[in-house]
Amino acid sequence: MKIIEYKAEYSKEIADLFTEAVHNIDDAIYNKAQKEAWANKVIDYKKWEDRLARTKPFLLLINNQVAGFIELEADGHIDCTYVHPNYQRQGVASSLLKYVIDVAEKTALTTLTVDASMVAKPFFESVGFKVKNENKVMRNGVVLINYLMTKKVND
């Protein structure tokens, strides 16, 4: 396992990982319509390439494959934290978050925020994030629920 900064050669793999991770969520948590609104199965790789060039996520590689990724914005907002279904519950998200917290400490960020999905909320709570409010996000005519959560960097 190693964490690296984003390289363009991984853009397609990251887009595929995101889509697979979302569509692997249990239908009892997010239904098929919600998952399709969140992550269309027809992937726009150019859009992902442009996004990733801008957001420059950190990638966790296992055997040179992207097992997970996380994006940290300059203001301390974590925009994406996704783990490939084959690598879930193996410490990938924890390792990525620890890395981001280390980066935040070095760049003098005092607070991290995240809009956590219903699936990710327990993970973020387990590492000290607190729910500030529930969000109802409209995507392609479908309502998705997530939670604005915050954590002081040195907690």
pLDDT one-digit tens code per residue, 43-67: 999 999 999 999 999 999 999 999 9
Task: Identify whether the C-beta of residue 88 lies closer than 8 Å to the C-beta of residue 120.
Answer: no
What is the SS3 assignment for the chain?
Answer: CEEEECCHHHHHHHHHHHHHHHHCCCCCCCCHHHHHHHCCCCCCHHHHHHHHHHHCCEEEEECCEEEEEEEECCCCEEEEEEECHHHCCCCHHHHHHHHHHHHHHHCCCCEEEEEEECCCHHHHHHCCCEEEEEEEEEECCEEEEEEEEEEECCC
Arch. (CATH architecture) of 2-152 = 3-Layer(aba) Sandwich (3.40)
Residue 2, pLDDT above cutoff 70: yes
* Residue pLDDT, tens place only, 70-111: 999 999 999 999 999 999 999 999 999 999 999 999 998 999
Residues 6 or more apart whose CB falls under 8 angstroms from that of 27 comprise none
Residue 155, pLDDT above cutoff 70: no
* Residue pLDDT, tens place only, 117-150: 999 999 999 999 999 999 999 998 999 999 999 9
Show me where the domains of the chain are located. Answer: 2-152
